[in-house]
Amino acid sequence: MDGSIALWMFGAVFIVLLMGYPVAISLAGTALVFAFAGDYLGTFDSAFLEALPNRLFGIIENDTLVAVPLFVFMGVMLEKSNVAESLLENMSKLFGTLSGGLGFSVVLVGMLMAASTGIVGATVVTMGLLSLPTMLKRQYDPALACGTICASGTLGQIIPPSIVLVLLGDVISSAYQQAQLDMGIFSPETVSVGDLFAGALIPGIVLVILYLIYLAGIAFFKPSACPALPVEETDNSLYLNLIMGLLPPLILIIAVLGSIIGGIATPTEAASVGAMGATFLAFLKKQFSLQQLKVVAQDTTQVTSMVFFILIGASLFSLVFRGFGGDELIEELLSDLPGGVFGAMLVVMLVMFLLGFVLDFIEITFVVVPIVAPILLAMGISPVWLGIMIALNLQTSFLTPPFGFALFYLRGVAPASIKTSQIYRGVLPFILIQLFLLTLLAIWPDLATWLPTIIYGN
């Protein structure tokens, strides 16, 4: 069978996707058209499609993925009960009197909120609405303000417990099994979502520190770009407010993350505790009502069905892709590259970076990762390192003009007085920081793999 039809299918789906019909159906529909045409022309064995019902049932039965609606519930609940708003308000009161302080608060709140929602769009929009007007009013350089908000908003990809890491963990874990079986290892090692969370922790924190160093540098060398707020009379109630605002979400995140990384609870169990904790928090803040619960549950249901529908569409797509011999073709292409593992990894990263302009994280995780990950893992790459590299790479892609998702989201909520070119200029230094960390991680995979090894042994 000629695998090149599979590549034509990839091209075709790309064009269909650009038309703007929902991604899940575009994937499934295009694949189906190719399957029928191939069956008619005798280049495709329709027996491949018989596996579909079992695949779909596998999605329903998958225990790891139950964590997704629970984490989404937790995030939506925190968002609707305005935890981020009061956090940002109190923090900027604390840091605001320093030059660059407002930027610091945005990064830190972005980190905390990202850890609890993990949805890029939501974080960028929230932060854009909350902090951009304040920063502009305080004479922040608009480019700097926009860059800081976009970058902080994308932290949700990499900082656990991000939802995409749950999805990525599930996909990489089955790819890892497959790679080892292909190599003739019949008692394969496993990799879990917990491994990926642990692996993401150090790179995520390093990233936040690098952001903060950059802001501190600006504050030192060019204080006019990020002036301090005028000193208001601070009383003790500020510190009390800050602690009261900061502690509950912090405890929640540490409890959820700690129990997963510590191996005490599965991600699903920890997520349910997080979801109940967020509800309790809303209750304490007097933001909880039956009406509110209904809204949160409905939003969560929609996000969940959106995510899983992509998974359904992608599983039909990858079945047909395999049926045309696409996976063998990709394997040949990747193993024939000069530079061996390094070359293969570099090409995969570049392709994903470009795909990140059009597709978002979930789609790339479900469509591209299952195709390339088994091949890369069979070359001996560590699964945790691969996962974190993918996450960091896509995060960079979402920041990169002109197509980065984060930029669109911010453009959507930024006032018209902000020029798009200012947003682009503002994110540039952050993209350089991302690339720096990506290089660092490529040179020292230990940055990602050290912590999981310490915690889980082997």
Partner 1 sequence: MLNKLIRFIDATNQSISSMVSWLLALMVLTMFCIVVLRYGFNIGSIAVQESITYMHGLVFMLAIAHTLRINGHVRVDILYQRWGKKGQAIVNLLGSLFLLLPVCAFIVYISWDYVSSSWSYYEGSREAGGLEGVFLLKSLIPLMAFLLFLQGLSEAMKSICTLSEKQ
Closest to partner 1 by CB, 18 or 354: 18
| Minimal distance, residue 308 CB to partner 1, in Å | 4
Q: Compute the CA torsion angle 115, 121, 125, 126 (nearest 10 deg).
A: -30
| Minimal distance, residue 34 CB to partner 1, in Å | 12
Closest to partner 1 by CB, 218 or 316: 316
Contact (CB, 8 A) for 358 and 14: yes
Closest to partner 1 by CB, 23 or 113: 23
Residues making contact with partner 1 (CB under 8 A): 16-26, 28-30, 32-33, 49-50, 52-54, 56-57, 60-61, 63, 66, 69-70, 73, 264-265, 268-269, 271-273, 275-276, 279, 293-294, 297-298, 300-310, 313, 316, 358-360, 362-363, 403
Residue 348 makes CB contacts below 8 A (sequence gap 6+) with: 334, 372, 376
Closest to partner 1 by CB, 200 or 399: 399
| Minimal distance, residue 275 CB to partner 1, in Å | 5
Question: Residue 123 CB: number of other CB atoms within 10 A?
Answer: 30
Closest to partner 1 by CB, 24 or 218: 24
| Minimal distance, residue 319 CB to partner 1, in Å | 11
From CA 354, how far away is CA 371, in angstroms rounded? 16
**How many angstroms separate the Cα of 222 from the Cα of each of 97, 135, 453?**
16, 16, 42
Closest to partner 1 by CB, 341 or 358: 358
| Minimal distance, residue 458 CB to partner 1, in Å | 26
Closest to partner 1 by CB, 26 or 400: 26
| Minimal distance, residue 109 CB to partner 1, in Å | 25
3-state secondary structure the chain: CCCHHHHHHHHHHHHHHHHCCCHHHHHHHHHHHHHHHHHHHCCCCHHHHHHHHHHHHHHHHCCHHHHHHHHHHHHHHHHHCCHHHHHHHHHHHHHCCCCCHHHHHHHHHHHHHHHHHCCHHHHHHHHHHHHHHHHHHCCCCHHHHHHHHHHHHHHHHCCCCCHHHHHHHHHHHHHHHHHHHHCCCCCCCCCCHHHHHHHHHHHHHHHHHHHHHHHHHHHHHCHHHCCCCCCCCCCHHHHHHHHHHHHHHHHHHHHHHHHHHCCCCCHHHHHHHHHHHHHHHHHHCCCCCHHHHHHHHHHHHHHHHHHHHHHHHHHHHHHHHHHCCHHHHHHHHHHCCCCHHHHHHHHHHHHHHHHCCCCCHHHHHHHCHHHHHHHHHHCCCCHHHHHHHHHHHHHHHHHCCCCCHHHHHHHHHCCCCCCHHHHHHHHHHHHHHHHHHHHHHHHCCHHHHHHHHHHHCC
| Minimal distance, residue 19 CB to partner 1, in Å | 5
| Minimal distance, residue 94 CB to partner 1, in Å | 33
| Minimal distance, residue 415 CB to partner 1, in Å | 19
Closest to partner 1 by CB, 50 or 332: 50
| Minimal distance, residue 259 CB to partner 1, in Å | 9
Residue 10: exposure state from Cβ atoms within 10 A (0-12, 13-18, ≥19): middle
Closest to partner 1 by CB, 88 or 193: 193
Closest to partner 1 by CB, 143 or 253: 253
| Minimal distance, residue 157 CB to partner 1, in Å | 16
From CA 173, how far away is CA 180, in angstroms rounded? 11
| Minimal distance, residue 302 CB to partner 1, in Å | 4
Closest to partner 1 by CB, 364 or 384: 364
Closest to partner 1 by CB, 130 or 275: 275
